[in-house]
Copies of this chain bind each other. A is one copy, B any other.
């Protein structure tokens, strides 16, 4: 047994964990950074920004898409990706809710 026990946690916990997990790799942060920097749908060129093989970048894009953080469309021979603003807002809201009661460092 090594699979994570998703079913025993709340929907909120699973939702936040899924979004955070998608952010939990520097390559995916780098992808989001590039998309955010341009703030438009980026068609192509994503692969060129990263020091990884094309297939690896494609896989990371798929994971970001699967988590809902980005959306992608096909434009001719190219694939266009952009950040899903709603999803980002959701992530921030979940974080704010989670840490709402935490106002200062603990004493221990």
Contact = CB atoms under 8 A, between A and B. Distances in A.
A106 B82 contact: yes
How big is chain A's contact interface, by range? 35 or more
Contact of A17 (B17, B25, B71, B88): B25
Interface string A93-107: 001001111111111
8 contacts: A5-B26, A5-B27, A17-B28, A22-B24, A36-B99, A36-B100, A41-B107, A85-B104
Interface in A79-95: 80, 82-86, 88, 91-92, 95
Oligomer copy total: 2
Given A40-B106, A71-B108, A105-B86, A98 B29 contact: yes
Interface string A41-56: 1000000000110000
Given A16-B26, A36-B100, 20 more contacts: A4-B26, A8-B51, A9-B29, A9-B30, A10-B26, A13-B33, A14-B26, A17-B23, A17-B26, A17-B28, A20-B21, A20-B24, A21-B25, A22-B24, A29-B98, A32-B99, A36-B98, A37-B101, A82-B106, A83-B106
